[in-house]
Chain A
């Protein structure tokens, strides 16, 4: 995950994640989320879209060790579910 998960980096982050999606694999996709220093709604929406894409492939998203910034943004936006899947890992 990028350090800055915001609208400013959304396009390139999406490209990077699409590349990760294209790599064959099964089981949950693990993303190290401890380095996210800044997150906004556009960034969290991107995570939501990624988890949706994975769900279509019968896979799940695991956010490993989410940083306080990412955790705070998800909780504020009512998307704690994105985090809990990571805790379950």
Chain B
């Protein structure tokens, strides 16, 4: 089955479940809004309202219903500000949200194959504009939210990172170069110095010991968490210090471009900065998850199973290969061939490996002398024939 067919069949199977769940959430949003008319400050209700919208948006995202996600995002942003107390729930706002809710319902219905309404698009655009107009600081975060795919300058922050890698870094399979490459993709490394003063001369160097440390400035839109995450695989192997650079800007030797960018950072409306930062964090968190189809996950787990089996097979093969070179099942006698069939492997994976039973069997029925050589089995590390040559007397 091709991946496109996988997608189609998965969506066809699961979409009805999404639609019914979304309809429940939409009905709940309506009820909550009505309840809030009597208690507009109830934090519990506001939280529940936000969660409902968030759930609809999240599950619509799984199905790639971009229209639902895009519109619900605006509603969710406003609900977030409501529950943070930045704006108050007025009756007008409540009406606006109810109308938005109707539009979400319509979009969900369309996702299931309902007819697209011609003027719905315009109506939703008008609603989005009204949502954006709520509260005086609304425009800044809304504008930032609207341009989510483009890197938002407001979220870009500069950091100074001082990191020292422990000696075992290389031995643990980690490469500081790879981490820096990764960071260079997550942001812009503006200045880097290697603090490798502790690197000894070649004569004294253990080449597998890491003596490297770095000091660099990085402009990273995803903030401190993203930087820390780059070091997550070496957390035990690094001393890491990350400091925000805005405060130290005047003293730091930065290029004009960087200084100009820093101005942008400090420019946003007071109060909106925190929100923008929280958004950045949220975006960073969501980047840590990937969506994988259950079918594909199944396929991967099956492959993993086969890999384990193949690994066990390889282990058996190696055990066989590790036998002494003189090991040849030369005799064709029934006894020896039976023995060599059972005495194949001592590895833990192999179900036929019963070293103790094998040796007991060999002792109980000493083989004819011609087959003696085949008695050495995979426990060949300590060749059994050395100790048994006397008991398996050739006179027998």
By a beta-carbon cutoff of 8 Å, the part of chain A in contact with chain B is 7, 10-11, 13-14, 17-18, 21, 39-42, 44-46, 48-50, 52-53, 56, 73, 76-79
Contacts and interface: CB of A to CB of B under 8 A. Distances in A.
Interface string B182-204: 00100000001110100111110
Contacts of A53: 201-203
Interface string B117-157: 00000000000000000000000000000000000000000
Contact of B202 (A18, A44, A76, A79): A18
Contacts of A77: 176-177, 180, 192, 194, 212, 214
6 contacts: A10-B207, A13-B207, A18-B202, A48-B199, A77-B214, A78-B193
Q: Which of A17, A45, A56, A79 has the most CB of B within 10 A?
A: A45
Nearest to B178: A40
Interface residues of B, number: 26
A4 to B, nearest CB: 13
Nearest to A39: B177
Nearest to B195: A78
A40 B177 contact: yes
A42 B210 contact: yes
Contacts of A7: 170, 175, 207-208
B210 to A, nearest CB: 7
Contacts of B176: 41, 77
Contact of B175 (A41, A48, A49): A41
B211 interface: yes
B180 A18 contact: no
B314 interface: no
